[in-house]
Amino acid sequence: MDTHFHFLFALIFLALATPIAFANDPSPLQDTCVAVNDSKYGVFVNGKFCKNPKLATADDFFFAGLDIYGNTSNRLGLAVNPVTVDQLPGLNTLGLSMSRLDFAPYGLNPPHIHPRGTEIITVLEGTLYVGFVTSNPDNRLITKVLNKGDVFVFPIGLIHFKYNKWKTNAVAIAFLNSQSAGVITIANAVFGSKPSISDDVLAKAFQLDKKVVDYLQAQSWGDN
């Protein structure tokens, strides 16, 4: 028997011997991954291909620039400088990424979700009012005011926000337990989808007049 068979027998033995079943699907690393039968039509396998390890260099594991203040001259007063597998190829398959967040006075990281990652942040400068909402049916809001050096965690998949409701700038560093945690900004996804979701759907779902829905859909939502 080759080692594969030994491994298989060990797995079967464990499955039979353990009273508790541990079953996990692998966490997806992209929004969609439609199965195809012909590899000719394949693009990525679970995120990115791997470079031959012999060809890897120090720069593959290196990123510079998180000391730089982000440009917060935008509607939200927010700058996000992400370091995901797209910026740091050495993160591939490691289940980790980070980002720097700059807030102008009254800057907002609006309600959003990371579909593939839990986020932990620490404040380097200023003060942030942060919070997340638990899932149905409780929808409990959990909030905290964070000062320099404070740490807060936003559990995977829950709507959360960070608001600098003070007159000074704020800077935070975030870590996520995915090489590509993804972001769904609630307002952008709901009111800024391309093409638009029917205003009948949104009026009913959000208990809004259709005129309000049309107004919201006409706004510029950007891509953050």
User: Which residues bind to Mn ion, rule: CB under 5 A?
Assistant: 119
Would you say 132 or 191 has its CB closer to Mn ion? Answer: 132
Would you say 176 or 202 has its CB closer to Mn ion? Answer: 176
Q: Report, in Å, the least distance between residue 215 CB and Mn ion.
A: 27
Q: Report, in Å, the least distance between residue 161 CB and Mn ion.
A: 8
Exposure of 89 by Cβ count < 10 A (0-12 exposed, 13-18 middle, 19+ buried)? middle
Would you say 74 or 198 has its CB closer to Mn ion? Answer: 74
Q: Report, in Å, the least distance between residue 112 CB and Mn ion.
A: 6
Would you say 119 or 199 has its CB closer to Mn ion? Answer: 119
**Neighbouring residues of 153: CB distance < 8 A, sequence distance ≥ 6:** 118, 119, 120, 121
Note whether 96 and 177 are within 8 A (CB).
yes
Residue 103 is which amino acid? F
Would you say 159 or 202 has its CB closer to Mn ion? Answer: 159
Q: Report, in Å, the least distance between residue 160 CB and Mn ion.
A: 6
Q: In a 3-state reduction of DSSP, which class is residue 108?
A: strand
**Neighbouring residues of 82: CB distance < 8 A, sequence distance ≥ 6:** 97, 98, 99
Would you say 104 or 213 has its CB closer to Mn ion? Answer: 104
Q: Report, in Å, the least distance between residue 111 CB and Mn ion.
A: 10
User: Locate tokens 């597998």: which residue?
Assistant: 85
- Listed residue (149, 152, 162) closest to 77, CA to CA: 162
What proportions of the chain, in percent to the nearest 5, are helix, strand and coil?
A: 20, 25, 55
Q: Which residue is nearest to Mn ion (CB)?
A: 119
Q: Report, in Å, the least distance between residue 33 CB and Mn ion.
A: 23
Q: How many CB atoms lie within 10 A of CB 144?
A: 11
